Structure 1
Amino acid sequence: MACFFRRRIAAQLGRTMRLCEDAFIPALSAVPVFKKQQTADLRLSINMLRDNGVLPSIGDIRAQTEHLARQLKQDSVVEEITAESAVIYFRFNRKLLAQKILEPLRMGGNSKFGLNSELLKSLKRGLTLVEYSSPNIAKKFHAGHLRSTIIGNFIANLKQSLGNKVIRMNYLGDWGLQFGLLGVGFRQFGSQEQLKQNPLQHLFEVYVKVNQEAEHNEDTRLAARDFFRQLEHHESGAVSLWQQFRDITVSEYRHVYKRLGLDFDVYSGESFHQERVQEVVQQLQDGGLLKTTEKGAGVVDLSAAQDMSTVSTVLRSDGTSLYITRDIAAAIDRKEQYHFDEMIYVTDKSQTNHFQQLFQILQAMGHSWADRCHHVTFGLVQGMKTRGGEVVFLEDVLDEARARMLHNMKQSKTTKEMDDAEDTAQKVGISALIVQDFKGPLQSGYKFDWDTMLQAQGDTGVFLQYTHARVCSLIQRNDNIDAATFDPSLLTEPSSIAILQHLLRYDEALYQSAQDLQPKHLLNFLLKLCHLIASAHRELPVKGSPQEVAQARLRLFSGSGSVLADGMRILGITPVDKM
């Protein structure tokens, strides 16, 4: 695997230059694979060595590169060393390349391939708390929460695969003035009977009606404020109704999350931190951070000049808490309860200012761990529509993805007989949603497009699933061939070498994704792998080949399929065996 070769080169560099070999690891990377073009396997960046202070950054860099290259020796592992511009290239023994990469791999994934590399060992480990999805209770799961859900799930999967302990938290919007409105609205328009039949739809209809009422009725607005005050003071009637709404909603959400193939360790919410809110307010006051405006609201001055030019409101004039007050309390509670090493919030970029203020207030309160809290932002999705028109609810999107995928599968001549076509269509449809979402930088929004998303050709989730299913089918059709032992010297064709070279980059793709928490690095690696597998599938027949050749090729396909499955699972995609 990559770590063997990277360590081998680093060791030789360390001996040659009389330095610790770890100093060379960051500057070593796999050479990108180009179609039909034979390249070296690993490269050393002299620029990076100079930037990191390993080499002196004076003198002619080309001469420095060539001088270092001449000092390095070829051996049984390294067959060729060449220098070009500011890069030294290494080409490995082909038999050893196949052996070291494929020996640890078995089809089906769940291997530790690439995860023990020196590159990944440099990453900090610990307990990571990821807060994501976080819809509001008493509302159907809005399609807008899809991005937070799948991005947060990817980050949690990635961190876990890299050796972190991960807590997946769903921080529900289950408090605030909106519940004052809903409480008043339910007493006026609600029906327990309808609540049993179609809970979230009924609560949604009640919420729409009471909002319309509140727009032109001051009494309704005042009644809503009073209901929320009752909640904050734990009055039994208000709390009982609120608890009913919360329990119903969590039950409904679990069903949607199950369809997406994910779950949470903790269902938390703003309501969990009510006891802490008054304590936070007191701490802000004792620290001289809480100011009162002319209208009686409590604010924290965040301006550099302390002239109240930038403030964060933490208390309404009637003394009730706000979203940020509860977020301050929640962060402190979580640190005390979970002792996290880092906490990651995943929300859309409209909340950037909110989280900047949150982290600033925590720092001002003396919580130095606030610099280990991070906000991962994402842009909005435009044009998400079903055949019925504009999409509001996520279940509509999932239903549409499943229906369209099922239709496409029925139309395709290559579709296999399967036990549960609907389940397969759902998994492939969700893969398509995830891949369309992850292709670009998360901060950018994108235009939702059903037709492009569900294409079997091109860089889509359908293509990922099709490739995995195709490898599974190849293995099943050749179940009489035992690939447990294989001769790596038989994998010398360009399409074999291209796959092996690309697999050298797996840990680098994980490392890049871990650095900026962007899924595009891992996704691009997997899509490229699928294209290379497709080429090899055309050029390297298993059936009809001599026994030893068939064994080696089958091992190549099963090994690359294993890495594909592992990477798909990190993205949040469940691989299918047939489609």
Structure 2
Amino acid sequence: MACFFRRRVALQLAEVCGLSEDVFIPLISAVPVSKKQSAADLCVSVKRLLQNGAVAAGGDLQSKTQALANQMKRDAVVEEVSAGRGVILFRLNKLILAQKLLEQLRSEPDVFGVKSELLHHLQGGRTLVEFSSPNIAKKFHAGHLRSTIIGNFIANLKKALGKEVIRVNYLGDWGMQFGLLGAGFERFGSQEKLRTQPLEHLFEVYVQVNREAERDESVRSAAAEFFRRLEQNEDQALALWRQFREITVDEYKRIYQRLGVHFDHYSGEAFHHHQTQNVLDVLMSQGLLKTTEKGTAVVDLSEAGDMSSYATLVRSDGTSLYITRDVAAALDRKQRFGFDEMIYVTDKSQTVHFQQLFHILQTMGHQWTERCVHVAFGLVQGMSTRRGEVVFLEDVLEEARSRMLNNMRQSSSERKYFLITLLPVDIGDVQTVIVFYSVLMFIKCVCQDFRGPLMSDYKFDWDKVLQAHGDTGVFLQYTHARLCSLLRRHASETHSCCDVSPLVDSRSVSVLQHLLRYDEVLLQSANELQPRHLVIFLMTLSHLAASAHRELPVKGSSAAVAQARLCLFSAVRSVLANGMRILGITPVEKM
């Protein structure tokens, strides 16, 4: 319902400036709630009005701001207009603010914010999101979690905004790494260990063969030969590859289910291996593929056409590369799914790769590449799969389980009861308690790890990952569950309020002003494809709700006051749940 208030302000701006009110809708912002309370609810930057040609240029900015503010009218909705530093401030009628916001949240709680006029241009169409994409024959480690969480968030956000979303897990299941692993397994592998401890054994082999390859040229040659055999569909090599892939995919599906993440398609490089020749043929027919003196096939990416920058698509031995298969995958996806936009979510080390990929596709004449995006994020430092210095997801879960058991053993009876009842499970079901606690730790990672820019590197730290205090996902869950508990205790009372007059106190108004920003936060999140704006919004909402819960009691209040407050708390719970689901967090109702 923020659009109702923006529309009223836009009408006034349109009348003063002589333009359509639609010009001003995206320029009007809700004033953020802060410790130093502002009387204003909405504002518009005069600098932005100048940039958009809504007002004539020239003159002193502050004088222009004051002059525009003086021309604005006051009415039943907009009670006051004033000039700030380069912004025009609008104070709304708080009774109407409460009535309009709570009315929509009561009638359409699941779509609050997402139907805003600010977001109309983002709705409709089909989005393909490629994320997680671990390599087969390797265990899921903490570094994979970043791509999984970010990609899941983007897919959830796009779906919430009305897009048809296709979630693709593009497994690294081809390439020279499998030449190395295959050669290593033929030297060091054991089928018996592969049956009993499949991924542990494959990881051991991978680490060992990498160490051997660093000092032994024959190992590198054997790896190249094994991959050549794969490319030529040699039966024994393919059988081993299929065994590795089946083992890994089964393990990954179990982990994704545990994390609450799903995919519409499990694809992989191998799926597009046979399509690479068609790509090379097209590039050759377009005169884009060139052969170097070393016998490699490349595409010139330089602006001057002098080969100062190029991408290699075929090795001198005739085998394909990762980028060759990515070109084939992009073309195949466009044909199969007819997406309007495609989003790749990987760490920033692949930035150059995607720049080359998009350049090649554009050079081939595919204009839809302009709607392909690479969402890069910082690396998880302190892990190297080649040397074995890696923190696996299951290790973190086990550590969380261990710490939970230790907490329960050392706690007083009262504290132990709290720890157990913190979780929506049978008190005697200790294992379920521990598993749920582990999942909460990763919910925490969503909220703490991604409060800053995605490009920032993340140093893995056990204490940080397993911390349960502060602004974490556990706090979001606790706030949501607490509101659910409050609403259950007063289930016999209606949560729809006709009289909103009890909600003009400072605590209630702060909550309402913050809810007014939700559609803007969704817009920021969609434009930047980063979760931090939504994370910060939900954390602030939780803190505001906690303060309101302490200072605005329902029990003991008059019927009208209790009803109005329940309506407010119900609205907060709905928005909190909606935002958590977009982040990939399933809200719990009991803690």
Q: Fold conserved (TM > 0.5)?
A: yes
Counterpart of 1:573 in structure 2 is 585
Question: Which residue of the partner structure matches residue 167 of structure 1?
Answer: 166
- Within the candidate set 432, 438, 442, 1:426 is matched to 438
Q: SS of 1:103's equivalent?
A: helix
Alignment correspondent of 2:101: 101
Gaps of 5+ in 2: 426-431
Aligned equivalent of 2:429: none
**Aligned equivalents of 1:453, 1:467: Cα separation in 2:** 21
The corresponding residue for 2:457 is: 445
Residue in structure 2 matched with residue 365 of structure 1 by the alignment: 364
Aligned residue number for residue 534 of structure 2: 522
Moved more, 3-12 or 393-402: 393-402
After superposition, where does 1:52-91 map in structure 2 within 5 Å?
52-91=52-91
Partner of 1:554: 566
Letter aligned with residue 539 of structure 2: L
Deviation for aligned residue 1:24 = 0.5
Alignment of 1:453-532 (within 5 A): 457-532=469-544
From the superposition, tell whether residues 423 and 483 of structure 1 become closer, same or farther in structure 2 (CA, over 3 Å): farther
> After superposition, what is the alpha-carbon deviation per residue over 1:396-442, rounded to whole angstroms, capped at 9, x for unaligned?
12333454456568854754624252343133211111112211100
Please list, as runs of the form range in 1=range in 2, the aligned pairs for 1:138-537 lying within 5 A after superposition: 138-382=137-381, 391-404=390-403, 411=411, 412=415, 414-415=418-419, 417=421, 418-419=424-425, 420-452=432-464, 457-537=469-549
How far apart are the structure 1 equivalents of 2:96 and 2:110? 20
The answer to whether the Cα contact below 8 Å between 1:405 and 1:429 also exists between their aligned partners in 2 is no
Shift in Å, 1:12? 3.1
Query: What amino acid maps onto 1:18 in structure 2?
Result: G
SS across alignment from 1:471: helix
Q: Secondary structure at the match of 1:111?
A: helix
Q: CA separation of 1:405/1:560 partners in 2, compared to 1, >3 Å: closer, same or farther? A: farther
1:517-540 Cα deviation digits (max 9, x unpaired): 121111111111111111111110
Amino acid at match of 1:80: E
SS class of match (1:88): strand
Name the TM-score, length of structure 1 as normaliser: 0.93
TM-superposed deviation, 1:551: 1.2
- Taking only the aligned residue pairs, the percentage that are identical comes to 63
User: Compared with structure 1, are the counterparts of its residues 493 and 405 closer, same or farther at alpha carbon in structure 2 (3 Å cutoff)?
Assistant: farther
Question: Per-residue displacement from partner, 1:110-150 (whole Å, max 9, x unpaired)?
Answer: 61011111111133642111111111111111222111111
1:451, CA displacement in angstroms?
Answer: 4.2
- Cα distance, 1:552 vs structure 2: 0.9
Residue in 2 aligned with 1:7?
7
Once structures 1 and 2 are overlaid, which stretch shifts more, 38-47 or 58-67?
A: 58-67
Shift of 1:216: 4.7
Change (3 A) 1:427 1:521: same
How far is 1:453 from its partner? 5.4
Q: Is the 8 A contact 1:454 1:460 kept in 2?
A: no
Deviates more, 1:135-144 or 1:316-325: 135-144
Are 2:420 and 2:433, in contact at CA under 8 Å, matched by a contact in 1? Answer: no
Residues 165 and 337 of structure 1: is their aligned pair in 2 closer, same or farther, counting only changes over 3 Å?
Answer: same
Deviation string for 1:327-368 (max 9, x for gaps)?
Answer: 111111111111111111111111111111111111112222
8 Å Cα contact 1:377-1:442 kept in structure 2:
yes
1:455 touches 1:462 (CA, 8 Å); kept in 2?
A: no
Deviations 1:544-572 (A, max 9, x none): 11111111111111211111111111111
> For residues 550 and 383 of structure 2, what CA distance do their matches in structure 1 show?
37
Letter in 1 for 2:104: P
Task: Please state whether the residue corresponding to 1:122 is helix, strand or coil.
Answer: helix
Structure 1: give runs of 5+ residues left out of the alignment: none
* Letter of the structure 2 residue corresponding to residue 256 of structure 1: I
Q: Give yes or no for contact 1:314–1:321 (8 Å, CA) kept in 2.
A: yes
**Matches of 1:83 and 1:130, distance apart in 2:** 44
Of stretches 3-12 and 343-352 in structure 1, the one that deviates more from structure 2 is 3-12
TM-score by length of 2: 0.91
1:42 and 1:89 in contact (8 A); partners too: yes
The verdict on how the C-alpha distance between 1:384 and 1:181 changes in structure 2, with shifts beyond 3 A counting, is closer
Query: Which deviates the most, 451-460 or 160-169?
Result: 451-460
**Could you say which residue in structure 1 is the equivalent of 2:428?**
none
Q: CA deviation at 1:284?
A: 1.9
Secondary structure in 1 aligned to 2:307? Answer: coil
The one-letter code of the counterpart of 1:350 is S
Counterparts in 2 of 1:100 and 1:427: CA distance versus 1, 3 Å: farther
Residue aligning to 2:34: 34
Q: For the structure 1 residues 511 and 452, does the alpha-carbon distance in structure 2 shift closer, same or farther, using more than 3 Å as the test?
A: same
Cα 1:334–1:426 shift into 2, 3 Å: same
SS at match of 1:296: coil
Please state whether the residue corresponding to 2:277 is helix, strand or coil.
helix
Q: RMSD across aligned C-alpha pairs, in angstroms?
A: 2.4
2:575 matched to 1:563? yes
Equivalent residue number for residue 92 of structure 1 = 92
Moved segments of 4+, more than 6 Å: none
Distance 1:13 1:504 in 2: 20
What amino acid does structure 2 have at the position aligned with 1:271? A
1:105 match: secondary structure: helix
Aligned residues: 575
- Measured after TM superposition, the shift of residue 514 of structure 1 is 0.9
- CA gap 1:375/1:513 in 2 versus in 1, 3 angstroms: same
Is the 1:69–1:83 contact (alpha carbons within 8 Å) kept by the matching residues of 2? yes
Q: How far apart are residue 322 of structure 1 and its match?
A: 0.7
Flag the 1:113–1:423 CA change in 2: closer, same or farther, 3 A: farther
Whole-angstrom distance in 1 between the partners of 2:404 and 2:47: 48
Q: 1:212 to 1:152 in 2, by over 3 A?
A: same
CA distance in 2, matches of 1:383, 1:173: 22
**Hey, what's the Cα distance between the residues in 1 that align with 2:441 and 2:330?**
36
